[in-house]
Homo-oligomer: A and B are copies of this chain.
Amino acid sequence: MGKALIIGAGGVANVVAHKCCQVPEVFEEICIASRTLKKCEDIRDKLTGSRTKVRVAQVDADQTEEVIQLIKEFQPELVINVALPYQDLTIMEACLATGVHYVDTANYEPPNVPKFEYKWQWAYREKFAQAGLTALLGSGFDPGVTGVFCAYAQKHYFDEIHTIDIVDANGGDHGYPFATNFNPEINIREITAKGRYYKEGEWIETDPLSVKKVYDLEEIGPKNIYLLYHEELESLAQNIKGIKQIRFWMTFSDNYLNHLKVLENVGMTSIEPIEFEGQQIIPLHFLKAVLPDPASLGPRTKGKTNIGCIIQGVKDGQPRTYYVYNICDHQECYAEVGSQAISYTTGVPAMIGAKLIMEGKWQKPGVYNVEEFDPDPFMADLNKYGLPWREDFAPTLLDEE
């Protein structure tokens, strides 16, 4: 059917490439491009025998012109951006300049100013609409599948949704006393930031990790979950009409938080440079160099993830509750594609979003979040491509625990 350009060559890119090759009728050819050609080649070398043609290219995604040149050469229908969040805008610009669709999995962040906000990308709505191009934002798991879950609930089970609790649990164990499962800088920033949730038209801020509950998760067991801000809250608060409250929760073990607290106490998570042997060094960067490489965790990680949405609302005048979730096994993911569940649950939905655009099912000129499309084909593809979901019509609610 067509060609897709994948920008990025990390764990998620590896999953996207593997998954595209499982759908050769849609992805006839892919190109994996990143700053480091070797990383692209390493992924390509694992894909031999695929009916999808695979090529690689070197590109610096910070440079719009380089991306434009690459698109002109390769002539894809669409770009799947799984590079760094700092590069979303340069890649969107390149798509506009060359007339190709765009998919990503995380919102743009200005370098050195961690801000989870869609405003920079939403500002492109008019331009993509006029160019007749679709930009699909946040097509990972969370954001991504969580938004599709909400849209699916809205479409099939509710007249009005009143509350949504997104619960992201990682029951995986990598066997190290402490490691972060993706870029530790982003990991640490995320949980040292203030929490925030939406309630009746307002955003309410909470101190970092100050709101905690215990929730018993299927195939994982009871876990401490903590209220965090997460980017899909912004778009869902706008796109789910009549919503009264939406919150995001993530599991962290006591051991993980203890390690993080100590590292914060002694100053190792600081991004303020200190003087060391005549040089300025950022402690967090040094910590990152000391910690295990996130890429090394894949083969070691056992256990499962469980991510889903607990929804309350009204149908036909009656109160209703609904929980839709996916359980994913780290070792099964690693056996299938050579990445664990954190990368897998992000990469599969990126492929599906791209596929639906390629197939014309999710084409709509402009810039959109996942919940603004028909969820049904996406939900069907989740079952088909490795992220089957389950439903519970009588879940335990968080405020009951």
Instruction: Give the B-binding residues of A (Cβ under 8 A).
Output: 177-178, 258-259, 262-263, 265-268, 274-277, 281, 283, 285-287, 289-291
Contacts and interface: CB of A to CB of B under 8 A. Distances in A.
B274 A266 contact: no
Contacts of A291: 266-267
Contacts of A177: 262, 265-266
A283 B289 CA distance: 10
A259 B262 CA distance: 6
A267 B291 CA distance: 7
Contact of A178 (B266, B274, B285, B286): B266
Given A277-B285, A283-B286, 17 more contacts: A178-B262, A178-B265, A178-B266, A258-B258, A259-B262, A259-B265, A259-B266, A262-B262, A263-B266, A266-B290, A267-B290, A268-B287, A274-B289, A274-B290, A276-B281, A276-B285, A276-B286
A265 to B, nearest CB: 4
A284 to B, nearest CB: 11
Contact of A268 (B258, B274, B277, B290): B290
Which 5 residue pairs are nearest across A and B when measured between Cβ atoms? A177-B265, A262-B262, A267-B290, A276-B289, A259-B262
A195 B32 CA distance: 55
27 contacts: A177-B262, A177-B265, A177-B266, A178-B262, A178-B265, A258-B258, A259-B265, A259-B266, A262-B262, A262-B263, A263-B266, A266-B287, A266-B290, A267-B290, A267-B291, A268-B287, A268-B290, A274-B289, A274-B290, A276-B281, A276-B285, A276-B286, A276-B289, A281-B286, A283-B286, A283-B290, A286-B286
Nearest to A177: B265
Contacts of A262: 177-178, 258-259, 262-263
A189 B285 CA distance: 25
A178 B258 CA distance: 14
A263 B287 CA distance: 10
A283 to B, nearest CB: 6
A200 B283 CA distance: 49
Contacts of A265: 177-178, 259
